[in-house]
Amino acid sequence: MNPRRLLLILVPYGWLLALFLIPFVIVLKIALSDTAISIPPYTPLLDLAAGWEGFKSFLGQLDFENFVFLTEDDLYWKAYLSSLQIALVSTIITLIIGYPIAYAMARSAPEWRPTLMMLVILPFWTSFLIRVYAWMGILSNEGLLNQFLLWTGLISDPLTILNTKTAVYIGIVYTYLPFMILPIYATLEKLDASLLEAAEDLGCTRLSAFWLVTFPLSKSGIIAGCFLVFIPVIGEFVIPSLLGGSGTLMIGKVLWEEFFSNRDWPVASAVAVILLMILVIPIILFQRNEQKNREADQ
């Protein structure tokens, strides 16, 4: 094989090995360990000086006790279900808001597109934490939103928004909206306008041409945007902690409490492994389906 081609292949595999596979194996090993009052707070530890016998003894002490524990405590599966629900609803809301924005950007005059693109990515120029703290000020009982609604006369008493799921959805949608807009915009911008003209020449209205031509051809951008929003949201910790309060249950908060409050690294690692499985399996199934579709098209 050409050395240059071999190098190109090794770079991504080396990246995956160093930044995904090795950390995952370490987390999986901790998930199969037991809690201990020591540094690090789990046992057993691999003793390379003990040789093969030490390695066999090390493997013999690993078990699935922490995974069994997760199935017996309601807190964990409720946290998984709540995270899935919040991630799914947030993704749908983000798509409903983001698609029209991306469509308008793609159909705007070419000289305006860089400006619109800059406005979409402008929030990233400030710290993520500062933006979330700003929402705390806006959504509190004495915040700007309640003051505005009271001033307009729409409400007579301040609404309780902060420390509710509504605040979590607002924070998530605001934070992750650019991740939905950008891939959809990239797809729509490349769309051949002559296809729409052909559809209208054949008798389609603008609405039916959009539904029959534009929307199906933007499917790849929609799927990419949904993955970019859904995957990080399901493990989100900061937004539900600051905007949702103690009443919002998400697996990211449970994970943080197990690691840093309870110092139960094995259980926290088991939670992380299951969370990874929840995210990886649908991605693999989707990629296999896409590959089958490509093979069918050929």
Q: Pick from 196, 10, 32: which is nearest to 103 by CA?
A: 196
Would you give the DSSP letter of residue 293?
H
pLDDT digits (tens, 9 = 90+) for 208-217: 888 999 999 9
Question: CATH classification of 71-297, choosing from 1.10.260.30, 3.40.50.150, 2.60.40.10, 1.10.3720.10?
Answer: 1.10.3720.10
Look at residue 279 in the predicted model and tell me its pLDDT.
84
- Average pLDDT score over the chain: 89
Q: Looking up tokens 């050395």, which residue turns up?
A: 3
pLDDT value at 222 more than 80: yes
Residues 6 or more apart whose CB falls under 8 angstroms from that of 253 comprise 79, 237, 240, 241
- How do residues 263-290 score in pLDDT, each as one tens digit? 899 999 999 999 998 888 777 877 776 7
Whether 243 and 143 have beta carbons less than 8 Å apart is answered as no
Per domain, the residue ranges of the chain are 71-297
**Neighbouring C-beta atoms of residue 293, cutoff 10 Å:** 10
What ranges in 33-127 are assigned the alpha helix state H? 51-60, 65-72, 74-107, 113-121
User: Three-state DSSP class for 189?
Assistant: helix
pLDDT of residue 298: 65
Calpha distance 291→255 (Å, rounded): 34
Q: Which residues contact 79 (CB under 8 A, 6 or more apart)?
A: 249, 250, 251, 253, 254
Which pTM value belongs to this model?
A: 0.86
> Residue 182's pLDDT is what?
94
Task: Give the burial class of 74: count Cβ atoms within 10 A of its Cβ; 0-12 exposed, 13-18 middle, 19 or more buried.
Answer: exposed
- The residue-averaged pLDDT of 68-87 equals 92
